[in-house]
Amino acid sequence: MSDPRKPRPGRLVQGGLRTALPFLLPSMAGMLVFSLLPLLISACISLTDWNGLDQLLAPGMFAEHFVGLGNFQAIVSGKEFWQVLGNTCRYIVLYIPCMLAASLAVACLLSQTRRGVTAFRVIYYIPVLTSWVAASLIWKSVLSPQYGALNNLLALVGIQGPGWLLDEAWAMPAIVLVSVWKDMGFFGLILLSGMIGIDKGYCEAASLDGAGPWARFWRITLPLMTPAIFYVLIVSLINAFQLFPQIMIMTDGGPNGATQVMVERIYKYGFRYYRMGYAAAFSWILFVIIMVCTWVQMKGQERWVNYDS
């Protein structure tokens, strides 16, 4: 049956858009002004040697300070960038597996249907709600080599704790430890929702077939949770590249540059050393790195993420 008055899909979309536009406009305007525009401006700044103090909009300013790709060249050819990238990668390599394992453990514990589990869900979420500044300050004293709680606990079981934040080799693992503590509640909760969403039937069927709890977890729960795990990996990797407040408060990049990371450098160059152009170029490099990593993850997901639940 052919109906000449059948609405064309184009018109429907148009009509929908017209209705949606007023609702979308406020957030789109915000996005434009506070996200896209600064992005554009920072791209322009990255091509200059602007110091962050001169008036940017003064006539002739851009032409006078234009240095082309000089900043990018200087960054990539300098020793510091590779060291900082190395430090950041070191953090990521330590952080992601530890965080994932801790979050999975949290999710497993909290998925039990027992009395008081809601209280534990809240307790595990408290670090997430704590401000980084407060958490970092407290951890700084916990990690104090001689008087800190952690080393005193270790001493009880006969282990001589390291110098943590004062030790070049242990400073980054200490930062990882604090970050995992802070983030496992958040990611644990996301994994938990992925876990709860799995159809109980699969597990029941498996137990009838004689699968034990370990087999059920590895063969059924984990594969069906992969969408949630994938999401956690994407977000945590972006997060990890943007590592900043805990570093600023606990080590300020020390000892001897062992915890200098990308965003810490960007902040110092922009707001402490008055080299805004250099800082902008640095942040664009970071942006590209994050984008490439996320793209690789997106491409790679087809191999292991399972959307069959």
Integer Cα distance of 143 and 68 in angstroms = 45
Sorted by sequence, the CB contacts under 8 Å of residue 136 that are 6+ apart come out as 178, 245, 246, 249, 250
- Asked if 31 interacts with another protein (CB under 8 A), we say yes
> Which of 235, 249, 289, 293 lies at the binding interface for another protein (CB under 8 A)?
235
> Which of 168, 204, 296, 300 lies at the binding interface for another protein (CB under 8 A)?
168
Least distance from another protein to the Cβ atom of residue 103, Å: 16
Burial profile 255-276: b = 16 or more Cβ within 10 angstroms, e = fewer: beebbbbbbbbbbbbbeeeebb
Q: Applying CB under 8 A, what is the total number of residues that bind another protein?
A: 42
- Asked if 173 interacts with another protein (CB under 8 A), we say no
- Asked if 304 interacts with another protein (CB under 8 A), we say no
**Taking CB under 8 A as the rule, which mask of x and - marks residues 137-166 in contact with another protein?**
---xx--xxxxx--------------x--x
Burial class (CB in 10 A: 0-12, 13-18, 19+), 192: buried
Integer Cα distance of 51 and 71 in angstroms = 13
Integer Cα distance of 30 and 89 in angstroms = 33
**Taking CB under 8 A as the rule, which mask of x and - marks residues 102-141 in contact with another protein?**
--------------------------------------xx
Least distance from another protein to the Cβ atom of residue 195, Å: 15
Least distance from another protein to the Cβ atom of residue 78, Å: 8
User: Could you say which DSSP state residue 2 is in?
Assistant: -
Please give the torsion angle defined by the CA atoms of residues 224, 229, 234 and 237, in that order, rounded to the nearest 10 degrees.
-160
Q: Which stretch, 47-55, 85-93, 172-180, 205-213, contacts another protein (CB under 8 A)?
A: 47-55
**In this structure, is the dihedral angle defined by the CA atoms of residues 260, 261, 265 and 267, taken in order, positive or negative?**
negative
- Asked if 239 interacts with another protein (CB under 8 A), we say yes
Sorted by sequence, the CB contacts under 8 Å of residue 163 that are 6+ apart come out as 145, 170
> Which of 13, 25, 34, 149 lies at the binding interface for another protein (CB under 8 A)?
34
> Which of 81, 125, 202, 244 lies at the binding interface for another protein (CB under 8 A)?
244
Integer Cα distance of 268 and 278 in angstroms = 11
Q: Which residues would be at the binding site for another protein (CB under 8 A)?
A: 31, 34-35, 51-57, 140-141, 144-148, 163, 166, 168, 227, 230-231, 234-235, 238-239, 242, 244, 253-257, 263, 268, 271-274, 307-308
